[in-house]
Amino acid sequence: MVKNTVRRRLRLIYLRIRRLRGHPDELALGLAFGIGIGMMPIIPFQTIIAVTLAILFGASKITAAAGTWISNPVTIYPIYKYCYVIGSFMLGFGHRARHLKPVAEAIAQGEYLEVIRIILSGGGKAAATFLLGGMVLGLLMAVPSYVLFYYFFKNLHAWRKSRKSIKA
């Protein structure tokens, strides 16, 4: 039963991807914005910021919102950990897990607003560390994501076009 449910959900996701409309550039740019913002430690605001960027730059709002799902209960701890490690390295701080432990506990309890409160209550250094690390990690993930998904959507568009010409 669980196997059928998973299979149905995967099929639904596949069909939704196939039905996405738009130029490959718009779709890939939206996804890159979503993935880049999804790397930032600003969980309740990720979708709003990604969709706003998509609107400003003429990208797909749907793929921008979907890209923020890169931050999910499974991936959130490693994302925040690397945000902290990268940010502390760039700012020249020792990356002791002093600020990371309370964040990890809040993530484990699923209290994402509490995560932001903990980061901000850690002072300017903690907030700057997480945010800078998130920006760098976001850029490191967004650029290759754009390229990868541009070719994916380009091939999907070509495949759709070839199916239309076969039917006609």
Please check the confidence at residue 95 and state whether its pLDDT lies above 70. Answer: no
pTM given for the model: 0.79
Segment 43-66 shows an average pLDDT of 93
Nearest CA to 46 out of 105, 115, 92, 102 is that of: 115
Please check the confidence at residue 118 and state whether its pLDDT lies above 90. Answer: no
Please tell me the least confidently modeled range out of 11-20, 94-103, 121-130: 94-103
Q: What is the pLDDT of residues 123-136, one digit of tens each?
A: 777 788 889 999 99
pLDDT at 56: 97
The overall average pLDDT reported for the chain is 84
Task: Tell me the two tokens of residue 100.
Answer: 């990371």
Task: Tell me the two tokens of residue 37.
Answer: 């913002």
Q: What is the pLDDT of residues 144-165, one digit of tens each?
A: 999 999 999 899 888 878 877 7
Instruction: Give the pLDDT band of residue 167 (cuts 50, 70, 90).
Output: low
* CA–CA gap between residue 146 and residue 38 (Å, rounded): 14
